[in-house]
Amino acid sequence: RRVHLEVDDGNAPALALYRRLGFTETGRRASYYARPDGSRANAIMMQAALG
C-alpha cells in the first residue's frame, strides 16, 4: 500500500518533512496551484510506502 500527496514546489519546509518521512517525487504538475497574487505554482507529486 502507498500514500500519495501533492505539495507546492515552493513549500520548502513541507518538502523537507515529506522527504524525511520517506516520500519520493513521482512527478510534477505545472501551474497547478493559484496564488493570491494571481501567479501560479507548480505541484510536486510524491508517494511513500505504508508499513
**3-state secondary structure (DSSP) of residue 10:** coil
CA 11 to each of CA 23, 35, 45: distance values in angstroms, whole numbers, following the listed order: 15, 13, 13
Classify burial at 34, counting beta carbons within 10 Å of its beta carbon; exposed 0-12, middle 13-18, buried 19 or more: exposed
**pTM, 2 dp:** 0.88
User: pLDDT digits over 10-50, tens only?
Assistant: 999 999 999 999 999 999 999 999 999 999 999 999 999 99
CA distance 42 to 44: 7
